[in-house]
Structure 1
Amino acid sequence: MTKGSSSVVSLALPALVVLAAEPLYLLVDTAVVGNLGTVPLGGLAVGGGLLAWAAALLNFLAYGTTARAARRAGAGDRDGAVAEGVQATWLAVGLGLAVLLLFQLLAGPLTRLLAGGPGPVAEAGEQWLRVAGLGAPLLLISLAGNGWLRGVQELRRPVRYVVAGSLLSLVLCPLLVHPAGLGLVGSAVANVVGQALTAALFVRALVREGADWRPRPAAVRTQLVIGRDLLLRAAVLQVSFLVAAGVAARTGTAALGAHQIALQLFFFLALVLDAYAIAAQTLVGHALGGQRPAEAQATAARVALWGLGTGVLVAAALLALRDVLVPLFTDDPAVVAQAVVVWWFLAGMQPLAGVVFALDGVLMGAGDVGYLRTVTIGSAVGGFLPLSLLAGPLGWGLAGVWTGLCLFIGLRLVGVLARVAGDRWLTAPVTVTG
């Protein structure tokens, strides 16, 4: 293994643990709740989808902070990199409280909208979301903490923090859902308690750096401006996934349950593959901060190859283990039948996704988020959304929804390959806060 490949792997492996921890917990959560019945599973799909939507919409707190902190660290300014983390944390608190308030006020209408109208699934989703939404500020604080620590190439501490919170949730979830008799609410409580521990550890890390904790409104506003492209990109992504979930819900409860299982696996695998994106962000940011563009280009080539190879292996594993994995989440024959339909789509997209996610990280590290925004929106509007919306009236069901998702990945792949093949991304500006 070359030195460059070793750098990619040494950063990607701890990032993999951090990225996989939360979706792995959600997979276990889905399995625990799935044994309560189809309605609680559908409620988790609705409520969990809304919370995941908020987190993904605001994940610029991690990715944007990584790019800025890496540039400062690459230029030898560690204090400046830590300052990015402080202001990102204040921004996370403000945005998290806004999300919390939104879910408390609108949990009912939002879950009914996503579930296709009032009913037991919508009621279950509302019940879960009102409790789990209390952890929104904690979740966003953790995103900000991950961002600045990745930027200074310290990925082992986030591993400890995230694993500690996830393990606590993993222990509490089955205990609260079943022996304690809390049912679906027990899942939400376990989620919040784990997030509280992780957020506390990230805040302690900043305190130990001796950082200046004064909030700087101008710096926070700058971070909001910098994050607008990532925010818009994430918004289109999440609207697309919500539309797809809404189509699945209208197809039937079994289809919604199967969609929830496959989508949680998709998100889990996306974050696993995204480990290369985190490594790319950090390495490209450091290289460009130190005025080494050739090193940034070499990193892009390496992470693309690692993403492709890993995607092929993941696809093969999914196909080989289908009959083992599906029964872990449900024993309902109708849900199993629907899950088999989407499994081929889920496996087939993995090699393409591996390259897409890796090169997304390259462009984020370079600060070329405006281009990423345009490509993502174009791929969603031109591929994902139309097929998802047509799947209902044309009777395509889940196959139509997941065909749209595959087209979405394919269009993004064409866009990022074309960009990285040139050199304009090497000069994209990254503004850092003062």
Structure 2
Amino acid sequence: MHDDQRSEERTRPSSFGKTLFGLALPVLPVLAAEPIYLLVDGVVVGRVGSTELAALGVGSLLLTLLGTQMNFLSYGTTARAARFFGAGRTDLAVREGLQASWIAGGVGLAVVTVLLVFVGPITGALTPDPHVAQMARNWLHIAAWGIPLILLTAAGNGWMRGVQRTRGPLAFVVGGIAVSTALCFALVLGLGPFPELGLQGSAIANVVGQACAASGMLAALFAQKHRYGLSLRPLPDVIATQLRLGGNLIVRTAAFQVTFFAATKTAGEAGNATLGAHHLGGQVWNLISLVLDSVAIAAQAVVGQALGAEDRERVRRFTRLTVTWSLGLGVVLAIAIAVLHGPIVSLLTSDPEVAERFRVAVFAAALLCIPASVVFGLDGVLLGAADAAFLRRLTVVTALGCYLPVLIATHYFGWGLEGIWAGLGAFILGRLVGVALRARSDTWMRMGTPQGGST
């Protein structure tokens, strides 16, 4: 089959959908693995005592926030590696993984150092209970050493997604989570020959599981490094370019976190029932976001590949097909959640007052699935083009101009959970307008390999 025939085949809707979801399906468990483990970890530690569970909540919150802020090591590396892969330079795509791993190690150790210096004031600020704060500090003194490992895993995810190898990361991450889960039961509860370490056992299990996942990523990276005869030395120009891209993604992620923190604070002011319903609604929305994000990551890889191949028409076609398939997925999710709202509410809460408010969140989540699916899909397209500066500006502007004003009005007028979800809806619609207008232009469509791509 000739190159033009293969290109035409790839751009057929059915073929593109198969490629998109073929990449997305292995990504989804990777995205969901850490939240699932934290849930299991909480269940196990909760059997020890409520104080230990509270301390785990404080410690894991810090680790989750730090890990989320460093997501540029996966998203940014995918964008750059995919372009090199599309240009037929898999060696340079692997080199992106090597340089991202240098960043992961350096940034990870720096974060650990700062965290351990300031862990006392930070945990004290997060809980008024000094005993809980002390237990959280003890947990973090061990668990913090997993941060470089988390970042190395993110870097590995990034370059392997860029060259469209998603099964390896799935095996490494799920394997690490399996080890963590088994050790958590064994060390926290003292099963069999293992000592009963309580909360400390949870921290050890975290680090061991993260080491397993990071080791798998590094083994795959070094195998490709030897295959292509690449140097291990850090390349300052490539690292500087990755860090510039990363800076935009860090600011973008921070904007998300500020708005969601403000939403939680607003829900808390409306009463415990509203706060509980908001927490449950947030978990439902997180699950939806994971599904949509897996498709966005797949779109990032295929669009980045087309840009690297300098095939403008294929980029346009892939963009349209990404919107079509993402929207279809959003509609399916919306219908499923609306139909199953009763069992969802009954499963997650037995409190009548919380259930009444939670029902509002479930229907809102179902409704917002549809516009959000397009936003996530186009986010993936633009991230594949490394258009992170635009996405950073758009997220900050819509957070400040769409979401926060509605939350302020909700606080003053007592709109409760309806107002909070209306704010999220305004945020999504504002971003939808922004990414749709951007995608229609040619501004983001920079062909060829990225800056710093010289050998």
**TM-score w.r.t. length of structure 2:** 0.83
Instruction: Tell me whether 1:60 sits opposite 2:72 in the alignment.
Output: yes
What's the counterpart of residue 224 of structure 1? 243
Instruction: Tell me whether 1:213 sits opposite 2:225 in the alignment.
Output: no
Q: How big is each residue's C-alpha offset from its partner over 1:76-121, in whole Å with a ceiling of 9 and x where there is no partner?
A: 1111111110010010111112222333233444345456x55777
Residue type at the aligned position of 2:213: T
What's the counterpart of residue 309 of structure 1? 328
2:179 to 147, 168, 193: 168
Larger radius of gyration: 2
Counterpart Cα distance in 2 of 1:332 and 1:124 = 31
2:20 to 4, 8, 33: 8
What's the counterpart of residue 18 of structure 1? 30
What's the counterpart of residue 362 of structure 2? 343
Alignment of 1:169-318 (within 5 A): 169-177=180-188, 186-209=201-224, 210=226, 211-248=230-267, 258-318=277-337
Q: CA deviation at 1:274?
A: 1.1
Sort the Cα spacing of 1:389 and 1:133 in 2 relative to 1 into closer, same or farther, 3 A: farther
Counterpart Cα distance in 2 of 1:42 and 1:326 = 25
Contact 1:46 / 1:111 at 8 angstroms: preserved in 2? yes
Which moves more between the two structures, 198-207 or 256-265?
256-265
Q: How big is each residue's C-alpha offset from its partner over 1:102-160, in whole Å with a ceiling of 9 and x where there is no partner?
A: 33233444345456x55777667656555433311111111100111111111111111
Sort the Cα spacing of 1:33 and 1:256 in 2 relative to 1 into closer, same or farther, 3 A: farther
Contact 1:67 / 1:281 at 8 angstroms: preserved in 2? yes
What's the counterpart of residue 149 of structure 1? 160
Counterpart Cα distance in 2 of 1:78 and 1:101 = 35
Contact 1:223 / 1:433 at 8 angstroms: preserved in 2? no
Contact 1:92 / 1:144 at 8 angstroms: preserved in 2? yes
Counterpart Cα distance in 2 of 1:120 and 1:252 = 26
Contact 1:26 / 1:264 at 8 angstroms: preserved in 2? no
What's the counterpart of residue 118 of structure 2? 106
Counterpart Cα distance in 2 of 1:154 and 1:148 = 9
What's the counterpart of residue 421 of structure 2? 402
What's the counterpart of residue 6 of structure 2? none
Q: How big is each residue's C-alpha offset from its partner over 1:157-180, in whole Å with a ceiling of 9 and x where there is no partner?
A: 111111111222333445555566
Which moves more between the two structures, 316-325 or 403-412?
316-325
Which moves more between the two structures, 239-248 or 139-148?
239-248
Sort the Cα spacing of 1:371 and 1:136 in 2 relative to 1 into closer, same or farther, 3 A: same
Q: How big is each residue's C-alpha offset from its partner over 1:22-53, in whole Å with a ceiling of 9 and x where there is no partner?
A: 23333444555667787766655544333222
Counterpart Cα distance in 2 of 1:319 and 1:106 = 45
Residue type at the aligned position of 1:284: V
Runs of 5+ in structure 2 lacking a partner?
1-12
Counterpart Cα distance in 2 of 1:106 and 1:251 = 32
Sort the Cα spacing of 1:94 and 1:398 in 2 relative to 1 into closer, same or farther, 3 A: farther
Sort the Cα spacing of 1:377 and 1:125 in 2 relative to 1 into closer, same or farther, 3 A: farther
What's the counterpart of residue 391 of structure 2? 372
Contact 1:379 / 1:412 at 8 angstroms: preserved in 2? yes
Contact 2:378 / 2:435 at 8 angstroms: preserved in 1? yes
Counterpart Cα distance in 1 of 2:333 and 2:424 = 17
Q: Give the 3-state SS of the residue equivalent to 1:362 in structure 2.
A: helix
Counterpart Cα distance in 1 of 2:202 and 2:369 = 29
Q: CA deviation at 1:385?
A: 2.9
Contact 1:30 / 1:261 at 8 angstroms: preserved in 2? no
Contact 2:153 / 2:214 at 8 angstroms: preserved in 1? yes
Contact 1:27 / 1:264 at 8 angstroms: preserved in 2? no
Contact 1:254 / 1:338 at 8 angstroms: preserved in 2? yes
Residue type at the aligned position of 2:218: V
Q: CA RMSD in A?
A: 3.2
Q: CA deviation at 1:331?
A: 6.0
Q: CA deviation at 1:191?
A: 3.0
Which moves more between the two structures, 340-349 or 190-199?
340-349
Contact 2:172 / 2:216 at 8 angstroms: preserved in 1? yes
Counterpart Cα distance in 2 of 1:240 and 1:422 = 28
What's the counterpart of residue 8 of structure 2? none
Sort the Cα spacing of 1:356 and 1:113 in 2 relative to 1 into closer, same or farther, 3 A: farther
Q: How big is each residue's C-alpha offset from its partner over 1:356-378, in whole Å with a ceiling of 9 and x where there is no partner?
A: 11110100111222211111111
Count of residue pairs brought into register by the alignment: 433
Which moves more between the two structures, 274-283 or 381-390?
381-390
Sort the Cα spacing of 1:303 and 1:256 in 2 relative to 1 into closer, same or farther, 3 A: same
Runs of 5+ in structure 1 lacking a partner?
none
Which moves more between the two structures, 204-213 or 175-184?
175-184
2:451 to 426, 431, 434: 431
Q: CA deviation at 1:426?
A: 1.4
Alignment of 1:13-92 (within 5 A): 13-29=25-41, 46-92=58-104
Residue type at the aligned position of 2:451: T
Counterpart Cα distance in 2 of 1:357 and 1:326 = 26
